[in-house]
Structure 1
Amino acid sequence: MGLRDWWASRRAGSDAGDAVTPSPQPPTEQDVLASLNRVGAMLAEGNAPPVVTARVVRIARTINDTLPRIRNLGLGSMEGYSVVATATTYLPEAVGAYLRLPREWADTRPIDGYKTSLMVLVEQLELLAATMDKILDAANNADAQALIAHGMFLDAKFGHASDGGPDLQLGTP
């Protein structure tokens, strides 16, 4: 089949009214929360060690705190994508891969130099936690910067009472 034949078949398919498959929608906050709940259930069912559970809980808590603030960063931002991907892909895949291994083997046999599967997972969870902390800080800084900007506006508009600006006596005639 030559290029001309391929192009003709593509045009013929388009002319036949082939339905365009809609692209999947990005995950919603509910999808993110549902994914975190599934990871929690995986931990409980897989009898994960406390060192793993504690780290996953920390990551989930940070994601929960960050979700409402992602709007400040922009839903299409790299930070927003990282939060969603961590909750829906990175965290479930890391935990799932570890939990599929026999517990004794995963916790005692080196797989990466001297590191056991447990140690490798803990390192991955620490990296995810640090990244989620940075993103939460960035989201909170966006709100803090908005507060500072508003304070500067108010200062320019009304001045400081302690600097000789208007001394408003509210409620007195």
Structure 2
Amino acid sequence: MIDLGPLAWMVHVAAAFAIAFFAQSVFSPKGRDARVVIRALIPVVLLTVLGAGWLPHPVAGMLIGYIGSRAFGRWESARGGLLAALVGAAVLIGLGASWLMFPLFFMTLGWLASGGPARGRRRERAAREDRPAELPTQAGGTPVPAPATPAVGEGPLAPYLADARLPAQARAQLVALNLRTREALTLLRDQGLEGTEGFFVARAIREEYAPEAVQAYLKLPRSLAETGVIQDGKTGAALLTEQLELLLDGVQDIIAGSLQSGGQALLTHGRFLRDRFAKAEQELRVPVILPVADKVK
């Protein structure tokens, strides 16, 4: 090592910066590149030669972490950096960090035992197997779109379904309201009952009544919304869940009414079919004529 005399202290200060530079370089996304690893090792080697004999030891520790993180991951993308790190490890061993050979030896055994060079290929194969199948294509080559399934978190109530300011029970009621009102509106629309009172009530529950109840609750002080009594011994949270329960009952009544309406149409159609085809069956029935001998008997 070179003795710089009174300036030797500067070498140790620079060595501290060299450690930071080494860590920043090799553990960055660009650390997979061999040139980055070599560039980070050059100051370490120079400062060690200039008198910072302690420097190879912390750098060797970081080099172990670098090799472990790269080798046991997708090592093929960091092959250049790993080769440069192994060369650097040999240099550090020569500079005094002879203990480095032991962890490197056991890391190599562990790497080989876990698959070694085949690790990356197995990972890529598993990723391909887990990849969802492509959509079938039409005759013209256009992918057939998957059937659209309405999500739970759609509609005017969607912003409140995961609002942490609301009680858990209220959020569950809002999820049910979101689904039930959508079901009721769809049923009434399919039955041609868009102009009925039930349709307007279901839409009002979905777009006005439930959101207004939630907004009124959210205006309460956060510290008292679930504990402060407002009326008849009930807190704001209790009043909110009570109102949402009333709205759920109302929507359920609308759905039950649409069931009765649809059921009446089904019964009417059934009576028509019975009248139509039972009469036709009588008209199409062929009389059975018995032979004369059978009549005598």
The two structures have a TM-score, normalised by structure 1, of 0.67
Q: CA 1:166–1:63 in 2, change beyond 3 Å: closer, same or farther?
A: farther
Q: CA 1:54–1:164 in 2, change beyond 3 Å: closer, same or farther?
A: farther
2 CA distance for matches of 1:165 and 1:118? 69
* Structure 1, unaligned runs of 5 or more: 1-32, 168-173
Q: What letter corresponds to residue 141 of structure 1 in structure 2?
A: Q
Q: CA 1:45–1:59 in 2, change beyond 3 Å: closer, same or farther?
A: closer
Residue 68 (structure 1) aligned to one of 171, 186, 192 = 186
Secondary structure, in 3 states, of the residue corresponding to 1:105? coil
* Structure 2, unaligned runs of 5 or more: 1-150, 286-297
**Structure 1 residue 73: Cα displacement:** 6.2
**Does 1:116 pair with 2:235?**
yes
Q: Does the CA contact (< 8 Å) of 2:161 and 2:175 recur in 1?
A: no
**Structure 1 residue 42: Cα displacement:** 2.8
Q: Does the CA contact (< 8 Å) of 1:62 and 1:132 recur in 2?
A: yes
Q: How does 1:1-173 map to 2 (within 5 A)?
A: 37-71=155-189, 72=191, 74-159=193-278
2 CA distance for matches of 1:51 and 1:43? 11
Q: Does the CA contact (< 8 Å) of 1:98 and 1:118 recur in 2?
A: yes
Q: What letter corresponds to residue 197 of structure 2 in structure 1?
A: M
Q: Does the CA contact (< 8 Å) of 2:188 and 2:258 recur in 1?
A: yes
Q: Does the CA contact (< 8 Å) of 2:163 and 2:171 recur in 1?
A: no
Relative contact order: is structure 1 or structure 2 higher (C-alpha 8 Å, sep ≥ 6)? 1
In structure 2, the residue matched to 1:171 is none
Q: Does the CA contact (< 8 Å) of 1:66 and 1:136 recur in 2?
A: yes
2 CA distance for matches of 1:120 and 1:40? 21
How large is the RMSD of aligned CA atoms in angstroms? 2.7
1 CA distance for matches of 2:225 and 2:284? 69
Q: Does the CA contact (< 8 Å) of 1:36 and 1:88 recur in 2?
A: no
Deviations along 1:11-44, one digit per CA (max 9) or x if unpaired, are: xxxxxxxxxxxxxxxxxxxxxx9x9634221342
Q: Does the CA contact (< 8 Å) of 2:198 and 2:254 recur in 1?
A: yes
Secondary structure, in 3 states, of the residue corresponding to 1:119? helix
| 129-138 or 58-67: bigger deviation | 58-67
2 CA distance for matches of 1:49 and 1:120? 11
Runs of 4+ in 1 over 4 A off after TM superposition: 163-167
Secondary structure, in 3 states, of the residue corresponding to 1:103? coil
Q: CA 1:95–1:155 in 2, change beyond 3 Å: closer, same or farther?
A: same
Q: What letter corresponds to residue 44 of structure 1 in structure 2?
A: A
From the CA coordinates, give the structure whose radius of gyration is larger: 2
Q: CA 1:134–1:49 in 2, change beyond 3 Å: closer, same or farther?
A: same
